[in-house]
Amino acid sequence: MPEAYEQTLNRGTLNELTLALSRGMFVQVRNVLHNMPACDVAHLLESSPGKTRILFWDLIDTEFHGEILEELSDDVRNSIIHQMMPEAVAEATEGMDTDDLADVLRNLPDQLYQEVLQALDSQDRHRAEAALAYEEYSAGSVMNTDTVTIRPNVSVEVVLRYLRMRSEIPKTTDTLYIVDEQDVLIGEVSLTALVTSQPEVIISELMNTDIVPIPATMPESEAAILFERHNWISAPVVNEENHLLGRITIDDMVDIIREDAEHSMMSMAGLDDEEDTFAPVVKSTQKRSIWLGVNLLTALLAAMVSNLFEDVLGQLAVLAILNTIVPSMGGVAGNQTLTLVIRAMALGHVSPSNTRSLMIKELTVGILNGIIWSVLIASVVGLWKQDLYLAIVIAFAMLMNMIAAGISGVAVPLILKKFKIDPALAGSVILTTVTDIVGIFAFLGTASWLLM
Amino acid sequence: MPEAYEQTLNRGTLNELTLALSRGMFVQVRNVLHNMPACDVAHLLESSPGKTRILFWDLIDTEFHGEILEELSDDVRNSIIHQMMPEAVAEATEGMDTDDLADVLRNLPDQLYQEVLQALDSQDRHRAEAALAYEEYSAGSVMNTDTVTIRPNVSVEVVLRYLRMRSEIPKTTDTLYIVDEQDVLIGEVSLTALVTSQPEVIISELMNTDIVPIPATMPESEAAILFERHNWISAPVVNEENHLLGRITIDDMVDIIREDAEHSMMSMAGLDDEEDTFAPVVKSTQKRSIWLGVNLLTALLAAMVSNLFEDVLGQLAVLAILNTIVPSMGGVAGNQTLTLVIRAMALGHVSPSNTRSLMIKELTVGILNGIIWSVLIASVVGLWKQDLYLAIVIAFAMLMNMIAAGISGVAVPLILKKFKIDPALAGSVILTTVTDIVGIFAFLGTASWLLM
The ipTM estimated for the assembled molecules is 0.81
Work out the mean pLDDT of chain B and round it to a whole number.
Answer: 88
Its sign, for the CA torsion A397, A403, A404, A409, is positive
B157 inside 8 A of chain A by CB: no
Within 8 A of A40 by CB-CB distance, chain B residues are: 229
| Per-residue model confidence as pLDDT tens digits over A47-97 | 888 888 989 999 998 888 988 998 888 888 888 888 888 888 888 887 787
Rg (CA), chain A: 29
Structural domain count of chain B: 3
The SS3 call for residue A15 is helix
Does residue A261 belong to any structural domain of this protein? no
B319 inside 8 A of chain A by CB: yes
Of B216, B240, B265, which residue constitutes the final position of a domain?
B265
pLDDT exceeds 50 at position B5? no
Does residue B300 belong to any structural domain of this protein? yes
Residue B30's Cβ-side half-sphere holds a number of Cα atoms within 13 Å equal to 9
Determine, for residues B254 and A40 on separate chains, whether the beta-carbon distance falls below 8 Å.
Answer: no
B244-249 and B234-238 beta bridge pairing: antiparallel
Its sign, for the CA torsion B73, B77, B78, B80, is positive
Instruction: Name every residue whose Cβ is closer than 8 Å to that of residue B50 and which is 6 or more positions away in sequence.
Output: B79, B278, B280
Q: What is the mean pLDDT of residues A401-426?
A: 93
CB < 8 Å from A in window 84-143 of B: none
CB < 8 Å from A in window 324-353 of B: 324-325, 327-329, 332-333, 335-336, 338-341, 343-344, 347-353
Considering only the beta carbons, identify the residue of B265, B285, B317 that sits closest to A369: B285
pLDDT band at A12 (very low <50, low <70, confident <90, very high): low
Q: Does B89 lie in the same domain as B233?
A: no
B83 inside 8 A of chain A by CB: no
Q: What is the mean pLDDT of residues B10-19?
A: 74
User: Which of A341, A406, A340 lies closest to A368 in space, CA to CA?
Assistant: A406
| Per-residue model confidence as pLDDT tens digits over B92-150 | 887 787 778 888 888 787 888 888 888 777 877 877 787 788 888 899 988 888 899 99
Return the number of other C-beta atoms located less than 10 Å from residue B25's C-beta: 14
| Per-residue model confidence as pLDDT tens digits over B164-181 | 999 889 888 999 999 999
**Predicted local confidence at residue A3, as pLDDT:** 35
pLDDT exceeds 70 at position A2? no
CB < 8 Å from B in window 12-51 of A: 14-15, 18-19, 37, 39-40, 43, 46-49
Within 8 A of B194 by CB-CB distance, chain A residues are: 195
**Predicted local confidence at residue B6, as pLDDT:** 38
Does residue A266 belong to any structural domain of this protein? no
Q: Does B312 lie in the same domain as B249?
A: no
Does residue B393 belong to any structural domain of this protein? yes
**Predicted local confidence at residue B11, as pLDDT:** 57
pLDDT exceeds 70 at position B12? no
B290 inside 8 A of chain A by CB: no
**Predicted local confidence at residue A6, as pLDDT:** 38
How far is A334 from B262, CA to CA, in rounded Å?
A: 19
| Residue B51 burial class via C-beta count within 10 angstroms: exposed 0-12, middle 13-18, buried 19 and up | exposed
Does residue B271 belong to any structural domain of this protein? no
Q: What is the mean pLDDT of residues A382-392?
A: 93
Paired with B178 in beta bridges are B150, B187
Determine, for residues A327 and B324 on separate chains, whether the beta-carbon distance falls below 8 Å.
Answer: yes
Of B142, B170, B196, which residue constitutes the final position of a domain?
B142
How far is A71 from B231, CA to CA, in rounded Å?
A: 10
How far is A80 from A33, CA to CA, in rounded Å?
A: 17
**Predicted local confidence at residue A37, as pLDDT:** 86
How many beta-carbon pairs below 8 A join chains A and B?
Answer: 382
- What percent of chain A stands above pLDDT 70? 97
CATH number at residue B374: 1.10.357.20
**Predicted local confidence at residue A11, as pLDDT:** 57
Q: Does B251 lie in the same domain as B210?
A: yes
Chain B residue with minimal CA distance to A164? Answer: B196
Considering only the beta carbons, identify the residue of B195, B306, B376 that sits closest to A163: B195
C-alpha pair distances (Å), A318 with each of A35, A306, B307: 67, 14, 8
**Predicted local confidence at residue A440, as pLDDT:** 94
**Predicted local confidence at residue B309, as pLDDT:** 93
User: Which of A222, A240, A33 lies closest to A139 in space, CA to CA?
Assistant: A222
Does residue B291 belong to any structural domain of this protein? yes
b/e sequence A233-251, b meaning 16+ C-beta within 10 Å: bbbbbbbeebbbbbbbbbb
Instruction: Name every residue whose Cβ is closer than 8 Å to that of residue B292 and which is 6 or more positions away in sequence.
Output: A329, A332, A333, A369, A373, B270
Determine, for residues A288 and B336 on separate chains, whether the beta-carbon distance falls below 8 Å.
Answer: yes
Determine, for residues A354 and B48 on separate chains, whether the beta-carbon distance falls below 8 Å.
Answer: yes
pLDDT exceeds 90 at position A238? yes
pLDDT exceeds 80 at position B4? no
Does residue A292 belong to any structural domain of this protein? yes
Within 8 A of B226 by CB-CB distance, chain A residues are: 8
Determine, for residues B2 and A238 on separate chains, whether the beta-carbon distance falls below 8 Å.
Answer: yes
Instruction: Name every residue whose Cβ is closer than 8 Å to that of residue B308 and which is 6 or more positions away in sequence.
Output: B444
Of A86, A114, A142, which residue constitutes the final position of a domain?
A142
| Per-residue model confidence as pLDDT tens digits over B343-401 | 888 888 888 888 898 999 999 999 999 999 999 999 999 999 999 999 999 999 999 99
Q: Does A163 lie in the same domain as A58?
A: no
B230 inside 8 A of chain A by CB: yes
Range of lowest pLDDT (A106-110, A362-366, A370-374, B421-425): A106-110
| Per-residue model confidence as pLDDT tens digits over B219-237 | 998 999 899 888 899 999 9
CATH number at residue B156: 3.10.580.10
Q: Does B133 lie in the same domain as B12?
A: yes
CATH number at residue A31: 1.25.60.10
A8 inside 8 A of chain B by CB: yes
Within 8 A of B300 by CB-CB distance, chain A residues are: 325, 380
- What percent of chain A stands above pLDDT 90? 48
Q: Does B222 lie in the same domain as B251?
A: yes
Instruction: Name every residue whose Cβ is closer than 8 Å to that of residue A368 and which is 6 or more positions away in sequence.
Output: B281, B282, B285
Q: Does A18 lie in the same domain as A160?
A: no
Determine, for residues A328 and B295 on separate chains, whether the beta-carbon distance falls below 8 Å.
Answer: yes
Does residue B274 belong to any structural domain of this protein? no
Give the residue numbers spanning the domain of A230.
149-251
Q: Which helix (H) or strand (E) holds B45?
A: helix B38-46
Q: Does B138 lie in the same domain as B188?
A: no
Q: Does B245 lie in the same domain as B380?
A: no
Name the minimum distance, in Å, from the CA of A452 to any CA of chain B: 15
B320 inside 8 A of chain A by CB: yes
B296 inside 8 A of chain A by CB: yes
Name the minimum distance, in Å, from the CA of B114 to any CA of chain A: 31
Q: Does B205 lie in the same domain as B96?
A: no
Q: Does A47 lie in the same domain as A85?
A: yes
Determine, for residues A303 and B285 on separate chains, whether the beta-carbon distance falls below 8 Å.
Answer: no
Work out the mean pLDDT of chain A and round it to a whole number.
Answer: 88
User: Which of B287, B346, B385, B439 lies closest to A365 in space, CA to CA?
Assistant: B287
**Predicted local confidence at residue A4, as pLDDT:** 35
- What percent of chain B stands above pLDDT 90? 48
| Per-residue model confidence as pLDDT tens digits over B271-308 | 877 778 888 888 888 888 888 999 999 999 999 999 99
B371 inside 8 A of chain A by CB: no
Range of lowest pLDDT (A196-210, B6-20, B70-84, B397-411): B6-20
pLDDT exceeds 90 at position A443? yes
**Predicted local confidence at residue A302, as pLDDT:** 92
**Predicted local confidence at residue B158, as pLDDT:** 96
Q: Does A313 lie in the same domain as A238?
A: no
